[in-house]
């Protein structure tokens, strides 16, 4: 991958299913967004936070609101691409607090002109993923057409899919866990 690498932390969702800002929920003694930030800080100091809300940040990172409202993760990614100039971006979501640096490193070792995403148990995950700046115009077109499904975008741009195996030392079943509802949050709270 080219040297210019940044990260985008998606933390701008409405959290409608959760009923409160899920980025601020505590997991293992940290707010979810902090837990994700800790992992990506191990890889790059260039981090952009896609959020329409204020977050209690301990370090100063650019917080970029959506330039086009209510367009989900694609809108957040596009807004950061509009206001920054890196070649590639690690894109992570604040509601997946168990991601590992090792997973992102594995994706970074692959090369694709558009995006690299993990596949685990026959399911493709858009986050974490490595996205190229080259998709900016395609994102813009998808947003104009209101085509907002990340998986449709990944198929359209022919993203490279990397199979993740449970035999990897760092792999665990929670690595792709996405926490969107009070029930999901309660389930992980009981386990921790």
DSSP string, 68-106: STT-HHHHHHHHHHHH---SEEEEEETT-TT--HHHHHH
Of the pLDDT bands very low, low, confident and very high (cuts 50, 70, 90), residue 18 is: low
Q: Place 184 in a pLDDT band, splitting at 50, 70 and 90.
A: confident
What's the whole-number average pLDDT of the chain?
90
Cα angle 116, 163, 118 (rounded to 5 degrees) comes to 40
Ranking 20-29, 49-58, 94-103, 114-123 by mean pLDDT, the lowest is 20-29
pLDDT band at 157 (very low <50, low <70, confident <90, very high): very high
Instruction: Please compute the mean of the pLDDT values over residues 133-161 and round it to a whole number.
Output: 97
Residue of 94, 122, 99, 108 lying closest to 170 (CA atoms): 99
Distance, CA of 67 to CA of 78 (rounded, Å): 8
Residue with more model confidence, 20 or 9: 9
pLDDT tens profile 57-107: 888 999 999 999 899 999 999 999 999 999 999 999 999 999 999 999 999
- Which domains, from first to last, does the chain contain? 5-185 (3.90.550.10)
> What is the pLDDT, as a whole number, of residue 2?
44
Strand partners, 116: 130, 160
Q: What average pLDDT does range 160-176 have in this prediction? A: 89
pLDDT, tens digit (0-9, with 9 covering 90-100), for 143-154: 999 999 999 999
What is the per-residue pLDDT for 172? 84
1 pLDDT above the threshold of 50: no
Instruction: Give the tens place of pLDDT for each residue, 24-44.
Output: 788 889 988 999 999 999 999
């Amino acid at each position: 991958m080219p040297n210019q690498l940044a990260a985008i932390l998606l933390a701008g969702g409405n959290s409608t299913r959760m009923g409160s800002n899920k980025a601020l929920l505590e997991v293992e003694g940290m707010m979810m967004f902090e837990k994700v930030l800790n992992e990506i800080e191990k890889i790059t100091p260039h981090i952009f936070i896609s959020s329409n809300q204020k977050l209690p940040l301990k370090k100063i990172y650019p917080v970029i609101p959506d330039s086009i409202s209510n367009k989900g993760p694609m809108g957040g990614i596009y807004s950061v691409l509009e206001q920054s100039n890196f070649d590639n971006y690690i894109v992570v979501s604040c509601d997946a607090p168990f991601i590992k640096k090792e997973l992102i490193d594995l994706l970074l070792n692959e090369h694709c002109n558009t995006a690299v995403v993990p596949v685990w148990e026959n399911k493709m995950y858009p986050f974490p993923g490595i996205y190229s700046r080259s998709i900016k115009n395609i994102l813009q077109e998808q947003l104009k057409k209101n085509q907002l499904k990340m998986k449709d975008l990944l198929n359209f741009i022919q993203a490279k899919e990397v199979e993740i195996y449970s035999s990897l030392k760092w792999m665990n079943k929670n690595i792709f866990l996405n926490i969107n509802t009070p029930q999901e949050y309660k389930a992980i709270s009981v386990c921790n």
